[in-house]
Amino acid sequence: MTGPEEIRPDAVPGTGGPGTAVPLLEVRRAGKTFGGVIALRDVSTRVRAGEVTCVLGDNGAGKSTLIKILSGVYVPDSGEYLVDGAPAAFGSPRDALDRGIATVYQDLAMIPLMSVWRNFFLGSELSRGWGPLRRFDVVRARRVVREELRSMGIDIRDVDQPVGTLSGGERQSVAIARAVYFGARVLILDEPTSALGVKQAGVVLRYIAQARDRGLGVVFITHNPQHAYPIGDRFLVLNRGTSLGEYGKGDITRDELTSLMAGGAELEQLAHELGRPDPAG
Ligand SMILES: Nc1ncnc2c1ncn2[C@@H]1O[C@H](COP(=O)(O)OP(=O)(O)O)[C@@H](O)[C@H]1O
Ligand SMILES: [Mg+2]
């Protein structure tokens, strides 16, 4: 394991596209407190187009607080937040969305009894000038959703089926496809795989890879290094609100990442405590 990457301000302006110098999003030494609780202190990271930045940490590490800063829910108390290399202060998640920063929360804000296609367009009908749904629009909406899901390789039998009948992985996949369709440049996913089994988690990881391959910058929050490692380009590890460092894929192995985020010493101690006494000793 080499040292964490140094976060330096970029000198060269660019477009924020793949391989260019300016990240889509950047926080520099961001801090956030709630009353007396320091939720985040001095945390820096960057999100680049066509890359997956993983944010890892145990419960209470500050992961959700960081993504709420990135997604316009909170303004940091200290430090800087930059979008396309320029300081940004969003008044609401809607402002962030208008800049192409889409967040998919664990609870997903979908209506279980409504169809897949209605959920896909939920909240977007008005902003896209749809007005009251007319017959023509419904036909078109179904077609768009069917095509979008297919183009992401998502196999949903029937877009008229209620979202509640989909598996957790399928629901996450629909939410990712929706964000891509509505023009997201940055996709922020708060623990999308945490409630899922191995197979379903694999499904979601595949769509994260698809979004990345389409050039989106992805922020993937998880407490599971097994999910993060295969897909991540960079790994930011948080512990009790502070950064334990940000590592490129080449700088850290999966085992090192696991022990870093779990507190390697604590795990070794636990293994020692739980092991059977040596019969010879
Ligand atoms: N709105 C809030 N009010 C008070 N404390 C908060 C609030 N949000 C988060 N915290 C505290 O900040 C710390 C980090 O929380 P959070 O960002 O949710 O961590 P994580 O998502 O990694 O589990 C925790 O100690 C949490 O209790
Ligand atoms: Mg959280």
For 5-55, the DSSP string reads: PP-----S---S-TT-SS-SEEEEEEEEEETTEEEEEEEEEEE-TT-EEEE
Residue 237 lies in a domain: yes
Listed in order, strand segments (DSSP E) in the chain are 25-34, 37-47, 52-56, 78-83, 86-87, 101-104, 186-190, 217-222, 234-239, 242-248
For the CA of 68, the closest atom of ligand 1 is 17
pLDDT at 127: 42
Q: What is the pLDDT of residue 150?
A: 86
Strands (E), 84-207: 86-87, 101-104, 186-190
Counting ligands in written order, which one lies closest to the CA of residue 238? Answer: 1
pLDDT tens figures, 41-88: 999 999 999 999 999 998 899 999 999 999 999 999 999 999 999 999
Q: Across the chain, which distance is largest between two alpha carbons, in Å?
A: 79
The answer to the question of residue 8 being in a domain is no
| C-alpha 264 to ligand 1 mean position (Å) | 23
59 pocket-lining for ligand 1 (C-beta < 6 Å) = yes
Contact 238, 260 (CB under 8 A): no
Domain-located, residue 101: yes
- Give 103 Cα–ligand 1 centroid separation in angstroms: 18
What pLDDT score does 155 carry?
Answer: 79
Q: Which amino acid is at 167?
A: S
Give CA–CA dist 36/29, Å, rounded: 19
pLDDT bracket for residue 5 (50, 70, 90): low
Residue 231: inside a domain:
yes
Residue 47, domain CATH? 3.40.50.300
Residue minimizing CA distance to atom 26 of ligand 1: 60
Q: Could you tell me if residue 178 is inside a domain?
A: no
Which pLDDT band, with edges at 50, 70 and 90, does 275 fall under? confident
4 assigned to some structural domain:
no
Structural domain contains residue 82: yes
Higher pLDDT, 91 or 236: 236
Its domain, for residue 216, covers 25-111+184-274
Total domain count, the chain:
1
93 in a structural domain: yes
Place of tokens 């988690």: 201
Confidence of residue 2 (pLDDT cuts 50, 70, 90): low
Ligand 2 centre distance from Cα of residue 238 (Å)? 12
Question: Residue 3: its pLDDT value, please?
Answer: 57
pTM of the complete model: 0.83
Span 170-216, pLDDT tens digits: 888 888 888 888 889 999 999 888 877 788 888 889 889 989 999 99
pLDDT of residue 186: 96
Q: Which two tokens stand for residue 156?
A: 């949903």
Question: How many A from CA of 166 to the centre of ligand 1?
Answer: 30
Q: Tell me the per-residue pLDDT of 248-261, one tens digit each, with 9 for 90 and over.
A: 999 999 999 998 88
pLDDT number for residue 219: 97
110-167 pLDDT per residue, tens: 788 999 998 888 866 534 444 555 445 788 888 889 988 888 777 788 899 998 898 8
Percent share of the chain, pLDDT over 70: 82
